[in-house]
Chain A
Amino acid sequence: MKFTLSWLKNPLETDADAQAIADRLTSIGLEVESVEDAGARLKEFTVAYVISAEKHPNADKLKLCMVDTGGPAPVQVVCGAPNAHTGMKAVFAKPGVVIPASGEVLKVGTIRGVESRGMLCSARELMLGDDHTGIIELGADAKVGEPAARALGLNDPVIDVALTPNRGDAASVYGIARDLAAAGMGRLREGDLSPVKGQFASPIRTGLDFPAGAENAAPMFAGRLIRGVKNGPSPQWLQDWLKAVGLRPISALVDVTNFIALDRGRPLHVFDAAKLKGNLRARFASDGEQILALDGKTYTLDSGMVVIADEARAVGIGGVMGGEDTACTESTTDVFIESALFDPVRVARAGRLLGIQSDARYRFERGVDPEFVLPGLELATKMILKFCGGEPSDVVVAGAVPQWRREIAFSPETVKKLAGIALPKAEIADILKRLGFDVTEGEPMKVSPPSWRGDIEGKADLVEEVVRIYGLDKVPSLAMTRPQAVARPTLTAAQVRMRTVRRALAARGFNECISFSFIARAHARLFGGGDDARELENPIAADLDALRPSVLPSLLAAAQKNAARGFSDQMLFEIGAQFQSGIPGAQANVAAGLRAGNGERSWTKASHAADAFDAKADMLAALEAAMGGPMTAPVKAGAAEWYHPGRSGTLALGPKVLGYFGELHPKVLDAFDLKGPVAAFEVFLDAIPEPKSKSRARSQFAPSPFQAVERDFAFVLDANVSAEDVLKAARAADRNLIESVQLFDLYEGRNVPDGKKSLAIAVRLQPKDRTLTDAEIEAVAAKIVDAVAKATGGSLRT
């Protein structure tokens, strides 16, 4: 919502300057986005008269000008503009002035051997437009020496307010003035809204034609004919104001309606009565009905949209835009003025579906003052009579002002209760009255909002009104009570888990990423997703159209980009959601990570290509961080389809899968254009069981006083025997004595038959009640060998 300072001072009597007004507006909730004060910005630039413009002695394209700047003697200026000529008025910058476009201070210069003591400016140099083909030529009536801004008509600051959607009442200069007056920034002038007496009965009548139950689509439709007008340009002041806020002056009749929309928030429309057929009525459009609108485009309407129609066709889209066929032109002599009320929801819908932004829509969808239908019509009548002459008819009205009066019981204590400000009852009542509310004293007081404040519904709204005018900055800072003297932990176990896993993975050397939750559908398909249930209807980009079924594709896409930047060795992880469907809650928190590349090259030769055992260690580290203890459950071969089928594993507790790890499937790497190897893991944080014991005390520390014994065994086994089976059998051989079993060697090759392998384990025996004798040790060793042989068919390597 844009307006100029002088426009505002039409309804508001005030001495305040633009900045003071802007500050106050922001403080009362009408946020000022900008104050464009070209007059202040360009105050150093003045009007000059070019006494002579001759060719520069040393340059063909330059001109040597003698310029009268209002000083005692003419000033010599070298100018490169092709349009510089003798006898013109131009904008002059003297040395020392900062040129807005460049930000540089203008200096006395010597150009091709000739001194130049100033500059004649182009629109672009002053940041007034893009034109840089020549210097600005001012009107002949511009006074030499006066500020150029005045000659340019730019001495009126333009204030731009970002209106919140609830404040339809402030979508007008008058509405803003009304709020400022209530806020103590001046006195409001209501203007002359008295009715103009009709000279004859309007030959065109207005009507409302809606099915029962839909009367609110357009509750009121008023109008009047003015015959014998002479349309032409509107007065200069009106054109200046409209131009200053970005509107193009068209003709007096149209400019008047635009002015009243902006000045009073009352959208109107003027028809050329000669082009109308019969009476006008508001009705629903029929599906597919078409109209050529004022913007020159043809729109196809639907039956939820309101139109103004004559007896032949739709002549306007109600509350949105008028029709081109019945528009006023220079030759219009009889004009019919429409002033109506339209349902904000239907106007917003029509505007949205048709893609029309108009000043009328902006106001109707925010809600207009229902009581201003007729005063707005009278105001328009007066202005048209004044600018264009003519003879007004009686006013015709269909429908009536809908009921808007309501009463809110309001206890003044509510202000303190909600806002923390203790205000006397009288001050509260005074503020509300200044804003146009009716206040009946009492306990509680009875408050009725004015017709233009359709947004006020209850007590909380009244508190806001009082506080914004009194001053939000006066709200005192009130300490909240501490629920506990010493703050208690507030994170849930799952939240703590997520944080611990994050920091554990970072400590392992992973870089944390945060990626979009949506990915390319083609990528999603590789990870079990990409179905319709996880598709976005309106993706921001074609390749971000699927909710991700796994976090890994996000990381793979990132890894590919990083690889393209020359970083082949990467360790990336992300903790975030993966989605099972498009239903709320069908998502799970996952910690996923990948290692790509061969590891940083080092003279120590310590690096190796990322493999499944890296991923296994990463997965276990994440799980152990999450659980706060060792993860002893065994893994099983194989994982989800995006892993290498022979080089991946799953860790599960019963039916609950806690994690996958492994090298990725070559097809997946291909799809992401990654040259392997990539090893990855996924840990499903939500599946991890909560710790059972809540006891903080540790179990008793009871080290055995007896010597532990370690024995190594090497077994020859079929190559397909899993290590886990060997370990499990060995552990179970004597649960009392065997403290731990560690696998420390895997060998295949010479001295081991084809199709066989050798696995070596170290078994640690820890007696609890006595020192073991050699015989006892041998007995346990035999049990271990037997157990492994029985479980795996393997035998001790000799």
Chain B
Amino acid sequence: MSDIAKLERDILAAVKAAKDEASLEAARVAALGKKGSISELLKTLGAMSAEERKAKGPAFNSLRDRVAGAIAARRAELADASLNSRLQSEKIDVTLPARPEPRGTVHPVSQVFDELTAIFADLGFAVAEGPDVEYDDYNFTKLNIPPDHAARQMHDTFYVSRQADGERHVLRTHTSPVQVRTMLKQKPPIRIIAPGRTYRVDSDATHSPMFHQFEGLVVDDATNLGHLKWTLEEFCKAFFEVDKVEMRARPSYFPFTEPSVEWDLRCDRSGGQIKFGTGNDWLELAGSGIVHPRVLAMCGIDPEKYQGYAFGGGIDRLAMLKYGIPDIRSFFESDLRWLRHYGFAALDIPTLDGGLSR
């Protein structure tokens, strides 16, 4: 028996000593190969008597199994070691920067555009549009702005050169002509907002010759100033993402509304930041009013039967207030630093369920 024990010890020592796959294979062949020591031992079983075979067979077989097991275990060890050493050699400097990927942005005006449409969609307002170059008739006349009104002068309104047909058109000075276009083609009830580019001959620290307005129009048989107030309150709460706002109404004058109302929002400007619903400052929010009966009539809607409200405000201004952007002129300068600083990520899509901003 001691021979077998010694044989096992020697084989296991050789397996353990194997430093690589080749020497392990050599040890395996030496033990379990056709002419290997254990194979030779097993061959001796055939010449044995039944009793002797019964006595030695299990011992030889068990030796073979142990050796096979040891070889498998060593093989796994060697494989691990070799993988580990490969992995070691494959080490990289993970602090090197990632492959550059440009980071795109959405302009604040577009972002606020999407915020406005999300809020007003919930209130049932469709989004209406009109062209930037507009008929004098739609921009002024049908809005009850008489031919001699100061707003029509060249120092206020951009005029495009006379066209081949002799007509002379304007760059729309407000989004209100979209009201006209809507009423001319749609019968009440009407609920629209009309956001878009607008133009006035004005350029200084607080004015840009191009800016953005949004216009709201509701025409049905009952909508009045109370509904206007509610709409603007709900809009402000949703847009500024606050629980409470306080608005102040001032009688005003616009040719296309009667009565006309300007709305201010209570705010606190102390400490460099603006807070709504508190404080002693008032911020001009929107001009508005009940659609002038003459405007309804000129747009083919019976003012005895229908009424409604209209309001308008600045989109750039809303963006400036909400996101603390100081200068309206910077909106249109396409300064990459500005775009990156004030722009929004592509996937910052305003939704009512997820919140307008994060």
Q: List residues of chain A with CB under 8 Å of any chain B CB.
A: 26-29, 31, 164-167, 345, 348-349, 352, 416-421, 458-461, 463-464, 467-468, 472-473, 475-480, 482-484, 487-492, 495, 499, 502-518, 532-541, 544, 547, 554-555, 558, 561-562, 565, 567, 570-572, 575-577, 579, 581-587, 599-600, 602-604, 606-607
Number of interface residues of B (CB under 8 A): 94
Contact A561 B159 (CB under 8 A): no
Whether a CB of chain A sits under 8 angstroms from the CB of B224 is: yes
Question: Given the complex, which residues of B lie within 8 Å of A27, measured CB to CB?
Answer: 250-251
Whether a CB of chain A sits under 8 angstroms from the CB of B290 is: yes
The residue on A at minimum CB distance from B125 is A490
Since A478-B227, A517-B210 are in contact, a sample of 5 more A-B pairs with Cβ atoms closer than 8 Å, ordered by chain A residue number, is A477-B233, A495-B129, A582-B133, A584-B134, A600-B102
Whether a CB of chain A sits under 8 angstroms from the CB of B158 is: yes
Q: List residues of chain B with CB under 8 Å of any chain A CB.
A: 96-97, 99-107, 109-110, 114, 117, 120-127, 129, 131-135, 138, 148, 150, 153-155, 158-161, 163-165, 167-169, 171, 191, 197, 199, 201-203, 209-210, 218, 222-227, 229-231, 233, 248-253, 258-262, 290, 292-293, 307, 331-337, 339-340, 343, 345-347, 349
Question: Given the complex, which residues of A lie within 8 Å of B224, measured CB to CB?
Answer: 416-420, 478
Smallest Cβ distance from B177 to chain A, in angstroms?
A: 9
A-B contact pairs, 14 of them (CB 8 A): A31-B250, A164-B252, A164-B253, A348-B150, A420-B227, A420-B229, A503-B349, A511-B336, A517-B132, A533-B163, A536-B160, A565-B337, A581-B163, A583-B133
Contact A583 B336 (CB under 8 A): no
Contact A460 B293 (CB under 8 A): yes
Smallest Cβ distance from A509 to chain B, in angstroms?
A: 3
Contact B258 A464 (CB under 8 A): yes
Contact B104 A505 (CB under 8 A): yes
CB-CB nearest 4 A-B residue pairs: A420-B226, A509-B102, A29-B251, A464-B259
Known: A166-B253, A464-B258, A483-B191. A535 touches B160 (CB 8 A): yes
Contact A165 B253 (CB under 8 A): yes
Contact B226 A538 (CB under 8 A): no
Contact A533 B161 (CB under 8 A): yes
Contact A490 B121 (CB under 8 A): yes
The residue on A at minimum CB distance from B203 is A540
Question: Given the complex, which residues of A lie within 8 Å of B290, measured CB to CB?
Answer: 418-419, 460, 463
Contact A475 B226 (CB under 8 A): yes
**A420 to B160 alpha-carbon distance, docked (Å):** 42
Known: A509-B104, A583-B163. A602 touches B97 (CB 8 A): yes
**A463 to B293 alpha-carbon distance, docked (Å):** 12
**A544 to B336 alpha-carbon distance, docked (Å):** 21
Contact B251 A28 (CB under 8 A): yes
Known: A26-B250, A464-B260, A516-B332. A506 touches B124 (CB 8 A): no
Known: A460-B293, A473-B248, A587-B133. A478 touches B104 (CB 8 A): no
Contact A479 B346 (CB under 8 A): no
Known: A472-B261, A490-B121. A499 touches B339 (CB 8 A): no
Question: Given the complex, which residues of A lie within 8 Å of B292, measured CB to CB?
Answer: 460
Smallest Cβ distance from A576 to chain B, in angstroms?
A: 8
Question: Given the complex, which residues of A lie within 8 Å of B339, measured CB to CB?
Answer: 511-513
Contact B133 A491 (CB under 8 A): no
Contact A472 B251 (CB under 8 A): yes
Question: Given the complex, which residues of B lie within 8 Å of A490, measured CB to CB?
Answer: 117, 120-121, 124-127
**A480 to B189 alpha-carbon distance, docked (Å):** 13
Question: Given the complex, which residues of A lie within 8 Å of B222, measured CB to CB?
Answer: 417
Contact A603 B97 (CB under 8 A): yes
**A554 to B332 alpha-carbon distance, docked (Å):** 10
Smallest Cβ distance from B77 to chain A, in angstroms?
A: 37
Question: Given the complex, which residues of B lie within 8 Å of A572, measured CB to CB?
Answer: 334, 336
Contact B334 A562 (CB under 8 A): yes
Smallest Cβ distance from B213 to chain A, in angstroms?
A: 14
Contact A461 B343 (CB under 8 A): no
Known: A166-B253, A537-B154, A547-B133. A507 touches B334 (CB 8 A): no
Question: Given the complex, which residues of B lie within 8 Å of A539, measured CB to CB?
Answer: 158
Contact B163 A480 (CB under 8 A): no
Question: Given the complex, which residues of B lie within 8 Å of A463, measured CB to CB?
Answer: 258-259, 290
Question: Given the complex, which residues of B lie within 8 Å of A511, measured CB to CB?
Answer: 104-105, 336, 339-340, 343
**A508 to B97 alpha-carbon distance, docked (Å):** 20
Partner of B230, one of A480, A484, A487, A562: A480
Partner of A571, one of B104, B169, B171, B343: B104
The residue on B at minimum CB distance from A554 is B334
Contact B225 A420 (CB under 8 A): yes
The residue on B at minimum CB distance from A167 is B253
Smallest Cβ distance from A21 to chain B, in angstroms?
A: 15
Smallest Cβ distance from B21 to chain A, in angstroms?
A: 35
Known: A419-B224, A509-B101, A536-B161. A461 touches B258 (CB 8 A): yes
Question: Given the complex, which residues of B lie within 8 Å of A461, measured CB to CB?
Answer: 258-259
Contact A532 B99 (CB under 8 A): no
Question: Given the complex, which residues of B lie within 8 Å of A492, measured CB to CB?
Answer: 127
Question: Given the complex, which residues of B lie within 8 Å of A575, measured CB to CB?
Answer: 110
Question: Given the complex, which residues of B lie within 8 Å of A537, measured CB to CB?
Answer: 154, 158-161, 168
Question: Given the complex, which residues of A lie within 8 Å of B168, measured CB to CB?
Answer: 537
The residue on B at minimum CB distance from A27 is B250
Known: A512-B106, A514-B332, A538-B154. A582 touches B114 (CB 8 A): no
Smallest Cβ distance from B341 to chain A, in angstroms?
A: 11
Contact B106 A502 (CB under 8 A): yes
Smallest Cβ distance from A105 to chain B, in angstroms?
A: 20
Contact A536 B248 (CB under 8 A): no
**A505 to B163 alpha-carbon distance, docked (Å):** 36
Smallest Cβ distance from B276 to chain A, in angstroms?
A: 16
**A417 to B124 alpha-carbon distance, docked (Å):** 22
The residue on A at minimum CB distance from B96 is A603
Contact A503 B347 (CB under 8 A): yes
Smallest Cβ distance from B195 to chain A, in angstroms?
A: 10
The residue on B at minimum CB distance from A464 is B259
Question: Given the complex, which residues of A lie within 8 Å of B96, measured CB to CB?
Answer: 603
Best-surrounded residue of B107, B126, B164 (most CB of chain A within 10 A) = B107
**A581 to B169 alpha-carbon distance, docked (Å):** 11
The residue on B at minimum CB distance from A544 is B209
